[in-house]
């Protein structure tokens, strides 16, 4: 049985709305899929290193586990927190086993929302903690939607954390057509006939592809920021690369002069998220 069905993918992962639109229709909780592979070695022995799946507890390395948001004492625990706690406890168990050491750890995550700022900090702590023990760790997160962007303003509990993840060498990717097929077939093991394009009707498919282009541009900008560009430089770069027409040139002049009021008004007719990005800089 699949960890997540095709219906869940189409309703809770494959959101077709632009950010700030139809906020009440966005999924209310995160669904997270994780695969964690370890490279173990017996101490003081010249035995060959052993590939180990932390989920199955054996050498069956191609196995995934699902985590969702939970409620404890009337407080919400994000799916990423449950995932990190589970990984941490299992790694501790292995470390406590006699004569066994962890040489390498590879964690791959697929999730419907990007991590919030708090979850990003916890992910970084997990990575740094393992690195201090001499473990080589590779952490990759592929997400379908930016967290906290479905309302009218961009929350500051998403963007700073994502930049920190990138700065700490944690790989981030957004979903595309190829990624959806990987999720459906390689991760969830659904039938090959369940193609991504069949999950949505033609109109919604076009909307989703448009949204994914926006996601790609946002992530591209965050990678620039993580590499030393500030938000202002990224915004100029985005306008310059995306639209070389009279309107974008005019808007670039507004932004360069920091005429935020006019720039924000003009950006409403441009990609919807740029207006929020300017507002975020202004604050």
Task: Give 226-262 pLDDT, tens digit per residue.
Answer: 887 655 555 555 544 444 344 445 555 555 555 555 5
Task: Give pLDDT, residue 217.
Answer: 83
* Residues 6 or more apart whose Cβ sits within 8 Å of residue 175: 13, 14, 142, 143, 144, 183, 212, 215
- Going along the chain from its start, the domains and CATH numbers come out as 6-229 (3.40.140.10), 231-283 (no CATH)
Torsion over CA: 147, 149, 151, 153 (sign):
positive
Q: Which of 4-18, 32-46, 91-105 shows the highest mean pLDDT?
A: 4-18
Mean pLDDT calculated for residue range 214-225: 83
Q: For the chain, what percent of residues have pLDDT higher than 90?
A: 23
Q: What is the pLDDT of residues 65-123, one digit of tens each?
A: 899 887 666 677 899 999 999 888 888 888 777 567 788 899 999 999 999 889 999 99
What token pair was written down for 20?
A: 């700030």
* Residues 6 or more apart whose Cβ sits within 8 Å of residue 1: none
Distance, in Å, from the CA atom of 66 to the CA atom of 267, rounded to the nearest integer, reads 39
Task: Give pLDDT, residue 21.
Answer: 76
Q: For the chain, what percent of residues have pLDDT higher than 70?
A: 66
pLDDT for 34 beyond 90: yes
Mean pLDDT calculated for residue range 29-58: 72
Looking at every residue in the chain, the average pLDDT score rounds to 76
pLDDT for 184 beyond 50: yes
Q: Give the least confident one: 13-27, 135-149, 234-248.
A: 234-248
Task: Give pLDDT, residue 37.
Answer: 87
Closest CA to 3 of 200, 230, 190, 172: 190
Residue 275's pLDDT band, with cuts at 50, 70 and 90, is: very low
* pTM above threshold 0.85: no
Mean pLDDT calculated for residue range 154-161: 65
């Amino acid at each position: 049985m699949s960890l997540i069905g095709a219906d869940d993918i189409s309703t809770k992962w494959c959101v077709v709305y632009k950010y700030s639109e139809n906020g009440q229709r966005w999924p209310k909780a995160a669904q997270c899929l994780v695969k964690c592979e370890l490279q173990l070695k017996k101490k003081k022995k010249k035995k060959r290193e052993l590939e180990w799946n932390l989920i199955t507890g054996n050498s069956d390395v191609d196995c995934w586990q699902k985590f969702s948001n939970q409620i404890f004492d009337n407080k919400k625990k994000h799916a990423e927190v449950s995932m990190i706690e589970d990984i941490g406890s299992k790694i501790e168990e292995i470390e406590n086993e006699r004569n066994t050491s962890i040489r390498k750890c590879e964690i791959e995550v697929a999730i419907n929302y990007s991590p919030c700022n708090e979850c990003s900090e916890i992910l970084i702590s997990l990575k740094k903690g393992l690195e201090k023990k001499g473990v080589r760790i590779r952490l990759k997160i592929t997400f379908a939607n930016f967290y906290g962007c479905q309302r009218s303003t961009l929350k500051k509990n998403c963007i700073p954390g994502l930049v920190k993840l990138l700065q700490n060498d944690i790989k981030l990717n957004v979903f595309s057509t190829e990624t959806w097929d990987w999720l459906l077939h390689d991760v969830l093991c659904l039938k090959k006939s369940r193609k991504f394009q069949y999950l949505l009707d033609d109109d919604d498919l076009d909307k989703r592809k448009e949204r994914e282009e926006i996601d790609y541009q946002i992530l591209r900008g965050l990678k620039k920021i993580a590499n030393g560009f500030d938000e202002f430089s990224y915004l100029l770069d985005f306008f310059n690369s995306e639209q070389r027409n009279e309107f974008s040139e005019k808007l670039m002049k507004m932004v360069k002069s920091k005429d935020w009021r006019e720039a924000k008004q003009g950006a409403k007719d441009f990609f919807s998220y740029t207006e929020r990005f300017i507002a975020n800089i202004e604050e």
